[in-house]
Amino acid sequence: MKIAALQMVSTPRVEDNLATAVRLIGQAAAAGACWVVLPEYFCLMGHNDRDKLAIAEAVGTGPIQQMLSDAARQHGVWVIGGTLPIRSDDADHVFNACCVYGPDGTLAARYDKIHLFCFDNGRERYDEGRVLRAGTQPVALSGIAAGDGAGAPLPTVPAAAPLRVGLSICYDLRFPELYRALMSMPGQPPCDLIAVPAAFTHTTGQAHWELLLRARAVENQCYVIAAAQGGLHENGRRTWGHSMVIDPWGQVIAVLAEGEGVVLADLDLERLAAVRTQLPALTHRRIG
């Protein structure tokens, strides 16, 4: 099964960013991807934090959500829609929401970022809490791939074995307890894939991005797909990029360092099962 992380260098213009996202989703689908992941803030990298408030959408309506739905349906793929601002009941704060659309264009899941980034090294300062409201609930979903982007069936993904996908966003990556919760939801199997849309700063990304992603893959014995912002943005911010896919043994199997593009990789369910059988660490948990 092919999966794709889409790397962008988003601008302060929503229309331009949506056009880029549509084009990259099409490229990924044409290459055979049945799950595609956009980066955090794919729709806007504004000049200041409050720019998010101006483009925030109500639940279920608006051009950003419509684009994600239309692209998923047009190409017959699952779209993990990075993040977009969803209105809250407070005019000064929005949710940083990851919306997932199935191949028929319907909303399959929504996750609101739980952990809000705050960083100050004297030169760079960020505090997402100034405009974002934190989510409260871990979210995972199960989805069956419907095709390869061209309507062809995928016999390697039987109806009895849907892919189990856990959702997280950027700064969440530093909190392993979230991923443990995703792997042990009552009545559900462990996740096969964890998605991490992100916009890591260059400073923190250079130090910790790959390290944390590989740790999450190894400790949860699952694939990790991380779609990032990657480059110098018009607002002067520089993001780390290095969108990648990591296998359950912690090996990076595909990566794009910087700039716009598609990171394509194969998700091998037999490989995942073999890792969990040979080293059954998930069954050895004693705490939590």
Please check whether residue 43 is in contact with residue 265, taking contact to mean a CB–CB distance below 8 angstroms.
no
Continuous H helices in 42-135: 51-55, 63-75
CA distance 198 to 126: 15
Query: Is the CB of residue 72 less than 8 Å from the CB of residue 105?
Result: yes
| Secondary structure (3-state) at 34 | strand
Based on the residue annotation, tell me whether 52 is a catalytic residue of this protein: no
Catalytic residue among 40, 57, 128, 258: 40
User: Phi first, then psi: what are they for 202, rounded to 5°?
Assistant: -60, -40
40 is catalytic: yes
Q: Where are the beta strands (DSSP E) in 23-176?
A: 33-37, 78-80, 84-87, 94-101, 107-112, 118-120, 125-127, 132-133, 140-143, 163-167
Q: Of 52, 99, 113, 258, which one is the catalytic site residue?
A: 113
Residue 98 is a catalytic residue: no
- Among the listed residues 34, 98, 99, 170, the single catalytic one is 170
Given the structure tokens 């042990």, which residue do they identify? 184
Active site residues: 40, 113, 170
